[in-house]
Structure 1
Amino acid sequence: MLHDPDKESNRKERQKKNLIRFYLRRGLLLLLGLLILAILLIALICKETSVSVEGTAIYSQEEVIDRILDDKLSRRNTVYAFLKNALLPKKNIPFIDSARIRFRSAGQITIEIRQTPMTGYYLLADGTNRAYFNAKGQVTDVSSLVVDGLPSLSGISAEKAKKGDIIPIQDKADRESVLSIYQFFADKSIAISDLKLGENGTVQVSCKNLNISLGSKTNLRDKLKRVPYLLDKIEDMSGTLHLENWTPDNTDVIFEKDQAQMEKEAQQQKESNQADSKNSKNSKEGNSKEETKKSN
């Protein structure tokens, strides 16, 4: 009986393909089984028991958890929460640049927050919303939320603002001067509460109980250099430090005490006089008793 070589070749080819399909199905079933087993192990071992938050003073821990772990499974399983955050990171959360999930153990994770760098804010015309800006003068967020510890920028006005806008100071030189003043006080770790931009680009800074009148941007760098030294001299007094007329030829700086400071000093002087009077009286009584004792 004659065999057709083509048919024999086709038969062997089919057998080979069937064998490949068999092992491929076995391999896929094994892989699927391992995947199911891994999922079950993850579900059992990586049950979420503890979540901590680091890196933000703006939001509470619960507020961060609500925004980052925003579905039931993220609240139950640490691996799922980690993978979801890595593949689909949360964006457009006010005041937050990024949020990263880090494992502390199989059931414990930490949400690490990187806050948006902010230099200050200015109040919008509605009197409620604030436009927060960075060291470059770019608006980073617009919100009614009050962020503690940031100085305001007053003396300017704006109906509205959006992310990416530049602070509304038309004169570029004035804008750069304002930003350099913010940077100076930040570098010196001197907390200020407000920077007021006046007419013709004059600047006044509120710091503790003081107003620091810097005047125009003329000699601004030299004026600022003297501020830390003068603050150490003034200590906790209140009033206005006048640097607006400072020049290399006129280095006099006037400190004008305010009403509260004068009343405080008057009260201190009164208490000092009363103490001196009491001490003097006690001294006289002591001398009188000593003389009486000697005469006896």
Structure 2
Amino acid sequence: MSRKKKKKRRGNFILALIEFILGLVILVVLLGVGAYFLCPVKSVSVEGTDLYSAEEIQNYILDDEYSHNAVYAFIKNKLFPKGDAEFIDSFDVKMNGLNAITIVCNEKKILGYLPQEDGSYVYFNYSGKVVEISQTFVDRGYMKVEGVSCDEPEIGSKLSIGEEQIGYLTSLIKILHKNDLMPNVVSYDENGRITLIYDTYNIALGSSVYLEEKIDRALRILPQLDGLHGTLHLENYSNASTDIVFEKDSEAE
């Protein structure tokens, strides 16, 4: 092949590449102009949370002068998603047509909380990991843990309440969740023994020894306690001592 033909082919390729790039740029510009004029945000809906007002969420997500455009808001959320709001793990922006968007709030999964001496609350999940630390108390019936304090809690880390306490708590959570027996409060005493507090009765578990057996016995007995107020004592349960006492509340009587 002669040099002239090679140069001609190379020149044709460069010319075609330039034309392709120019065409692509023109297409992008046209799409951008079209999106700007055709996709102004006229309707915004918020889903997934009642912790913030719809206006607060809208102002948080649509936070710059270009966010009035639905396409821009959608693309911005995909490229630079926000996730640093209290109790919210992430946000999704969805387009519902050219002029409407929906902001979906994905809340953090919370099982319970520990009140701190400084007035804050340490919220944790089913794995015993801290997911939020806040001065705000969220009244959603989350399980309360009392009788222990969390030393220097950090989001993403295990509850820092002591190795024995956290081991007991996480094992207990798994068993209780499996048996649909989650309490309102888990209360530790000064010796690390646990009492589960429900609406009308308590279950004194004591230490973690024979934990599964204690829960199994409690499940068999609880139907007989319907309507009663008091404490089911399982702290002394063992293979050698299977006697279980239900102590009625004197006030209820």
TM superposition score category, shorter chain reference: 0.7 to 0.9
Q: Aligned partners of 1:124 and 1:187: how far apart in 2?
A: 28
Contact 1:124-1:159 at 8 Å conserved across structures: no
Instruction: Tell me which of the two structures has the higher relative contact order, counting C-alpha pairs closer than 8 angstroms and 6 or more residues apart.
Output: 2
SS of residue in 2 equivalent to 1:241: strand
Contact 1:125-1:158 at 8 Å conserved across structures: no
Deviation at 1:145, TM superposition (A): 1.6
The change in CA–CA distance for 1:47 and 1:224 in structure 2 (over 3 A counts) is same
The aligned runs of 1:141-220 (5 Å cut-off) are 141-147=132-138, 148-158=140-150, 160-170=152-162, 172-220=163-211
Q: Match for residue 230 of structure 1?
A: 221
> Residue type matched to 1:195 in 2?
V
Moved more, 20-29 or 142-151: 20-29
The change in CA–CA distance for 1:229 and 1:110 in structure 2 (over 3 A counts) is farther
The change in CA–CA distance for 1:175 and 1:47 in structure 2 (over 3 A counts) is same
Residue 80 of structure 2 is aligned to residue 78 of structure 1: no
Identity of aligned residues (%): 33
Q: Aligned partners of 1:190 and 1:58: how far apart in 2?
A: 27
Deviation at 1:243, TM superposition (A): 1.3
The change in CA–CA distance for 1:237 and 1:110 in structure 2 (over 3 A counts) is farther
Deviation at 1:260, TM superposition (A): 4.0
TM-score (norm 1): 0.71
Q: Match for residue 65 of structure 1?
A: 58
Contact 2:150-2:159 at 8 Å conserved across structures: no
Deviation at 1:240, TM superposition (A): 1.3
Deviation at 1:133, TM superposition (A): 1.9
Residue 88 of structure 2 is aligned to residue 103 of structure 1: no
Q: Aligned partners of 2:232 and 2:145: how far apart in 1?
A: 19
Q: Match for residue 54 of structure 1?
A: 47
Q: Aligned partners of 1:242 and 1:109: how far apart in 2?
A: 55
Q: Aligned partners of 1:17 and 1:116: how far apart in 2?
A: 57
Long gaps (5+) in structure 1: 1-14, 263-296
Contact 1:191-1:208 at 8 Å conserved across structures: no
Contact 2:43-2:101 at 8 Å conserved across structures: yes
Residue 212 of structure 2 is aligned to residue 221 of structure 1: yes
Contact 2:151-2:160 at 8 Å conserved across structures: no
SS of residue in 2 equivalent to 1:261: coil
Q: Aligned partners of 2:168 and 2:129: how far apart in 1?
A: 15
Contact 1:125-1:160 at 8 Å conserved across structures: no
Q: Match for residue 134 of structure 1?
A: 125
Residue 46 of structure 2 is aligned to residue 37 of structure 1: no
The change in CA–CA distance for 1:19 and 1:222 in structure 2 (over 3 A counts) is closer
> Residue type matched to 2:29 in 1?
I
Contact 2:120-2:135 at 8 Å conserved across structures: yes
Deviation at 1:38, TM superposition (A): 1.6
The change in CA–CA distance for 1:105 and 1:186 in structure 2 (over 3 A counts) is farther
Larger radius of gyration: 1
Deviation at 1:197, TM superposition (A): 1.4
The size of the alignment, in residue pairs, is 251
CA-to-aligned-CA distance 1:28-79 (integer Å, 9 cap, x gap): 66555433332232123322233333333543433333332222432x2211
Long gaps (5+) in structure 2: 1-7
Contact 1:174-1:217 at 8 Å conserved across structures: no
Moved more, 235-244 or 203-212: 235-244
Q: Match for residue 114 of structure 1?
A: 106
Q: Match for residue 268 of structure 1?
A: none
SS of residue in 1 equivalent to 2:203: strand
More helix by share: 1
